[in-house]
Amino acid sequence: MKKFLTFFVSIFILITTLCGCGEDYKNATVYYELAAFPTTLDPSVVSDSTATMISSNIYEGLMRLDYDLNVVCGAAESYSVSGNTYTFTLRDNLKWSNGDPLTAKDFVFGLQRSVDPKTNSPSAQRLSCIKNASEIISGKLPVKNLAVSAPDDKTVVIETVNSAQLLKTLTGLAAMPCNEEFFNKCAGEYGMTASTILSNGSYRIRLWDFENGKMRITKNPNYSGNFVPNNTSVILTKDEELSPIQRLENENVDMAQIDSLSISKAKELGLNCLTFENTLWLLTVNDTKFSKDLRSVFAMTFNREKYSKSLVDGYRITSDIFPAVVKGKDTVLSPISFSTVSPQTAFKNATGGKALDKISIVYYDDPVIRNALVDIAGNWQQLFGVTINLVPSGNLIDLQNQLKNKTYDMCLFPITAKDSSLSDYLKQFSVTENDLQKAQNLVLGNFSVIPVAVQDTCYAMTSDITKANVSLRSEIIDFSFVIKKD
b/e 67-78 (16+ beta carbons within 10 angstroms → b): eeeeeebbbbbe
Strand-pair category, 255-258 with 29-33: parallel
Indicate the pTM of the whole model: 0.82
Task: Please state whether 121 falls in left (phi above 0), alpha (psi between -120 and 50) or beta.
Answer: beta
Q: Shortest CA distance to 235 belongs to which of 57, 116, 78, 96?
A: 57
pLDDT score for 202: 97
> Digits of tens for pLDDT over the chain (486 positions)?
444 444 444 443 444 444 444 567 778 999 999 988 999 999 999 988 889 999 999 999 999 999 988 899 999 999 999 999 999 999 999 999 999 999 999 999 999 999 999 999 988 988 999 999 999 999 999 999 999 999 999 999 999 998 888 999 999 999 999 999 999 999 999 999 999 999 999 999 999 999 889 999 999 999 999 999 999 999 999 999 999 999 999 999 999 999 888 988 999 999 999 888 999 999 999 999 999 999 999 999 999 999 999 998 889 999 999 999 999 888 989 988 887 788 889 999 999 988 888 999 999 999 999 999 999 999 999 999 999 999 999 888 888 889 889 999 999 999 988 778 888 889 889 898 889 999 999 999 999 999 999 999 889 999 999 999 875 555 689 999 999 987
pLDDT score for 424: 80
**Other CB atoms within 10 A of residue 64 CB:** 25
Q: Are 318 and 307 in contact (CB under 8 A)?
A: no
**Other CB atoms within 10 A of residue 438 CB:** 11
Q: Are 164 and 193 in contact (CB under 8 A)?
A: no
The DSSP letter of residue 160 is B
Q: Shortest CA distance to 217 belongs to which of 238, 194, 239?
A: 194
The DSSP letter of residue 372 is H
Contacts of 142 (CB under 8 A, 6+ apart): 136
Could you give the 3-state DSSP secondary structure of residue 105?
helix
DSSP 113-159: HHH-TTT--TTGGGGTTBTTHHHHHTTSS-GGGSSEEEEETTEEEEE
Whole-angstrom Cα distance, residue 435 to residue 438? 5
pLDDT score for 18: 44
Q: What are phi and psi of 331, to 5 degrees?
A: -75, 130
The DSSP letter of residue 232 is S
